[in-house]
Amino acid sequence: MPDSQSPEPLFADADRNVGLFVAFRVLFNARFYYPVFMVMLLDYGISVEEFALLNAVWAAAIVVLEVPSGALADLIGRRRLVVAGGALMVVEMLLLVLVPVPSVWVLPVLMANRVVSGAAEAFVSGADEALAFDSLAACGRAGEWPRVLERIMRVGGVVTIIGMVTGSLVYDPGVINGLARGVGLAGGFTGADTFRLPIWLTLASALGAFAAALAMREPPRTDASGATAATGLAAAFRQTAATARWIGTQPLVLLVIVAGVLIDLPIRQVLVVSSEIYAEIGVPPPAFGLVSAASALLGLAAAGPLRRLALGASARANGLVLAAFTLAGLTGLAAFVPVGGVVFVILLSTVLRMVVFLQSHYLNQLVDSGRRATVLSFRGLAVNVGYGLGCLGFAAATAVSARLVGEAACFRAVVGLLPWGFLLACVAFWAYALRVRPHRAALVQPGGFGQPRAPSA
């Protein structure tokens, strides 16, 4: 065995890459503006309709680039795509920081921001995870992956708590003025002065993510093609088509991806409109960040039990648990319990974290290294297509409800439909699962699916 492939360097590189992967994933997702995202963008001077358009552009950018970027990562190396994604996050934040307000440039720059943001998400999705998993697999440590996911949940939970609380506080000029007076300054800050502070904090986390990406090392791969970026782009589309055909022949892979979309779709709709839900149940705006922090705290506490659940229970049992919790959360949310209704938002946020954890655990078992990033990108593509269709459905249902029950009551009416829609989707999924007929022993095997099956070209 060559020295470059001896166990010691492989172990050292695996530890290095896993640590950097955790740092990159946490910093890339440390978006201090999340608690105030909608109101912050409206502060730039855009309308609600333009805000919806920006979200559609963001989703479209991800859908177009998600899978080709994953295939490109499999062909020319995962580190290159992770570095590109980190660089794009920096550009994304700089656009928000530098655009003058008010000006005619606001909407075009925000549009560019959404395209760059979608590209960053697409480039990173699958590539960072594949790089870290392959680093462990190269030295026979693939079984440690659930612990890596647990570590991300724990570290990410702490950072999310800090980020959500800090972001919502620095956005508020009253808080900033109070801090200024506390240190003997005059204060006098207005919303125009503070609304971009969460963006500045996110720019700092973007620079940290980019630095972590640059420090990563490409793991050894016996199936690497050695393609360059120039030749790899055409090959990426061939890889995408080949992987799509392969996924169509793998019932277990299909079930994991479709089940993730089924649960992700209604929860993501809830989280996107969570600020309106909080307003409906009487939660004051300064507390929005605290609710997000409470959700992250629960995710932090759930990291260890979730790893044990992934390893100790079957895929079918875990799917039933997630579906039951989702239905309970949507049903409780539809009741609009004053203040206490935030418990159901927190529950659904935790379920979403569980879905991400379990999908990663199962898909990395089922897929070989040569197309791992591509399949993980298909997972991201499916989730984002589902999210986009869900947004269109939510908007259409809101328009119809407004005509039937009036503007004031339409939001509650549409949220009330979510548990029924989810229940119907679960029935359809069950029928689909019976039709594709996966190997039953794999579904009921504790801990996952065993060794990955080698795919055919």
Report the pLDDT value the prediction gives residue 441, as an integer from 0 to 100: 53
pLDDT, position 221: 60
Closest by alpha carbon to 352, among 289, 307, 299, 313?
299
Identify the band that residue 367 occupies on the pLDDT scale cut at 50, 70 and 90: confident
What letters, b where the CB count within 10 A reaches 16 and e where it falls short, cover 374-390? bbbbbbbbbbbbbbbeb
Percent of the chain past pLDDT 70, that is, above it, reads 85
**pLDDT score for 424:** 95
Query: Measured at the alpha carbon of residue 122, what is the angle toward residues 119 and 127, in degrees to the nearest 5?
Result: 130
Query: What per-residue confidence (pLDDT) applies to 310?
Result: 67
Closest CA to 237 of 75, 61, 372, 386: 75
Q: Which residue has the higher pLDDT, 323 or 359?
A: 323
* Torsional class of 406: left (φ above 0), alpha (ψ -120 to 50), beta (otherwise): left
Domain covering 3-220+231-444 in this structure, CATH number: 1.20.1250.20
Q: Which residues contact 372 (CB under 8 A, 6 or more apart)?
A: 74, 126, 130, 133, 134, 364
pLDDT at 42 over 50: yes
**SS3 string of 42-103?**
HHCCCCHHHHHHHHHHHHHHHHHHHHHHHHHHHHHCHHHHHHHHHHHHHHHHHHHHHCCCCC
Reported as a pLDDT band with limits 50, 70 and 90, residue 4 is very low
Which pLDDT band, with edges at 50, 70 and 90, does 206 fall under? very high
Q: Provide the pLDDT for residue 425.
A: 92
Distance from C-alpha of 300 to C-alpha of 285, rounded to nearest angstrom = 24
- Is residue 187 within 8 A of residue 181, CB to CB? The reply is yes
Task: Tell me what pLDDT residue 1 has.
Answer: 40
Cα separation of 253 and 311, whole Å?
18
Q: pLDDT value at position 65?
A: 81
Contact 282, 404 (CB under 8 A): no
pLDDT of 77 > 60? The answer is yes
User: What is the residue-averaged pLDDT of the chain?
Assistant: 80
Euclidean distance between CA atoms 338 and 106, whole angstroms: 37
Is-cis flag, bond preceding 102, omega within 30?
yes
The per-residue pLDDT for range 426-442, each reduced to its tens digit, is 999 988 888 766 655 55
Give me the pLDDT at residue 114, please: 92
Domain ranges of the chain: 3-220+231-444
Collapse the DSSP code of 252 into the 3-class scheme (helix H, G, I; strand E, B; otherwise coil) and give the result.
Answer: helix
Q: State the residue for tokens 């407004």.
A: 402
Classify 339 in phi/psi space as left (phi over 0), alpha (psi -120 to 50) or beta: left
pLDDT per residue over 224-276, tens digit each? Answer: 444 444 445 566 667 777 777 888 888 888 888 999 999 999 998 888 777 77
- Residue 74: the pLDDT is 73
Average pLDDT over residues 128-141: 85
When pLDDT is averaged across residues 96-125 and rounded to a whole number, the result is: 90
- The pLDDT score that the predictor gives to residue 216 is 92
Q: What is the mean pLDDT of residues 121-130?
A: 84
Tally the C-alpha atoms within 13 A of residue 123's C-alpha that lie toward its C-beta: 22
